[in-house]
Structure 1
Amino acid sequence: MQLNAKAREFLNQYHAGLCSSYDQQDAGRWFALTDPKETQLRDALLESADFLKMLTVADVDQLQGQVVPVGGSGLYTGRVADGRFRKKVGVSGNDYKLVETDSCAALTWQLLSVWANAGDENEFFQRVQEFTNLSFALDMLRIGFNGTSVADTTDPVANPNGEDVNKGWHQIVKEWKEGQQIITDPVVLDGDGKGDYVSLDAMASDLINSKIPAQYRSDPRLVVLVGSDLVAAESFRLYQKADRPTEKIAAQLLSDSIAGRTAYVPPFMPGKRMIVTTLPNLHIYTQRGTRQRKAEFVEDRKQYENKYLRNEGYAVEYPELYAAIDESAVTIGAPVPPPEE
């Protein structure tokens, strides 16, 4: 499909506006962002994805270094006989490493033509901008939950969730102290009591009591991140047995609270994974001064490509405040018994 005249006019105006907003003559060439523009782009990405705003997303100066402390759990009050009580805030030996990260939000001629016919110029601009920012922001989350390695050349077909783009939070904790915070032994979630856990409440409670240090277990900031497959299985079980109003209410509130903790079903997190942590404990860093942008018409591919290049990476501030059951360990429902010989 060709780019219709209305869409081409709107897109030309959008492109000109993009140049102007970044003080550039030609957005079709790579250009670096100034400090205020870097902040503007970071804020736009945070605004486009609600879950991202709850994490620690920060700029750092170095390509690699020590994790930036934002204030974790622990005691900050006491006394000293000959002076003032103080607590040193820092994360000794917990490092981060950033890598080149390249994003491209491509809009096809067909989609742009549909958007142009569906509204006015302002609506068209908003859709293009929202699509671009949301694409970049969701990929940050997708890689954070699924990343396991850093490939020189990534393969999005074999690794559709960015598994080879960067090491995400789960992989970082897996490599910390021999993965002591991650349960990888097989467990069964079965509402009939035939497995290891009868409910998500039981699963989360065990995770907190076995993996989160005692002094942090009552921290009100602890939340439960739960995969969509686990929530679906638990909801089905509750509704199947919901012959009383209280059970129906429990099913409806499942995605809001688990084991007395606020619960979230994060985008792109593996469906059978469960995590207990504080959300600010999950960090995403971008190296200051490395953000580069480019937007261009690519006639050969019949699309408009919005590109974002930077050095970026992930970190966990306090690995001991990240406890998880790995998705590979979880079976939903009683396992099928082996056939008799």
Structure 2
Amino acid sequence: MSLVPRPRTPCPRPAESAEIVVVGAGVAGAAAAWQLARRGHDVLVLERFGPGHGRTGVPQYRRVGDGDPALAAEAWSWWRELERETGAGLLTVTGAVDHGDRAVVAALAEAAAVRGGRVEWLEPRAAAVRWPGREFEGPVLHRRDWTGRLAADEAVAALAAAAVGWGARIRYRTTVKAVDVRGADRVDIRTEGGTVRARRVVATVGAASIGLVAGRVVLPPLGLVQERVLHVTGLPSGPVVTRHIAGSVEYTLPLPDGRVEIGREGNVTAPVPTRWFPGVAATPDPHDRTYTTSPDGAVVLAGASPVAVGAGFAGHRFSLAPALGRLLADLVTDVEDRVFS
């Protein structure tokens, strides 16, 4: 009889599990995880990169106060709640000045008035005197409340920290290879390190990762676009100034260091519109941003049980993230075959 023991068959490692897995810890995934965790759900976030991925070394800020009025109002309240939970200073109230498309500007005024906000109308010449270095067209709206600047990098970090504070787990540097739906209440999420089992999954996808949910959820085509912004001197600080035009906006955003960001959303291939800002210094500092968007630039929220998908949280839509995260949480916990964009 041999004294050499027979090789033992290794016991399979039990799969990690969670009630809800969130794929991606950017602003969309972190917002959804926070909303789900604070409701008491068992949440695991899987993120391909490390914490703070995407930071360029240049602090990032976003305009607050535009977009769907109901979502903008809800998002503002959530940002304030996030500040209370984490102690982070995220929002800076600057006020907002809107001009250009009269219908859009009138709708913004009406939405502000419904909320009880302070609004003021000015003629273009009077606006140029009050905020020098800028030119205006048409009636000019000044909104004093619930508008301003959001610290984008700090916002993502605060959302992730708050989610963890409510019990969520975040696994960084974990690449998701596939999302396999096994049934109405079972999803296997395959990663480089093994399989995670979940009842539901929220996938916050980009143009490069949309294949994870291909065939499960009907989505519009997603693509990458590049936006160039200018950080300039020569413009006095002040409110966020937005010129609304067909399918796009042109804006100035005051930065904490005294400079002003000039940018365009919607038609990102056009030159940055410095002609509306004659006070700009001759040699602005350009910065490029690349992000995922849908054909019409709208946020995409879609669900087909047991999968929910979020995409397109760029530009001013970034500032709506807590409200959109709430919608994603609603979607994944009571999923019907539907799409919101």
Shorter chain as normaliser: what TM range? under 0.3
Which is helix-richer, 1 or 2?
A: 1
In the superposition, the TM-score normalised over structure 2's length comes to 0.27
Which is strand-richer, 1 or 2?
A: 2
**Which structure ranks higher in relative contact order (CA pairs < 8 Å, sequence separation ≥ 6)?**
1
In the superposition, the TM-score normalised over structure 1's length comes to 0.27
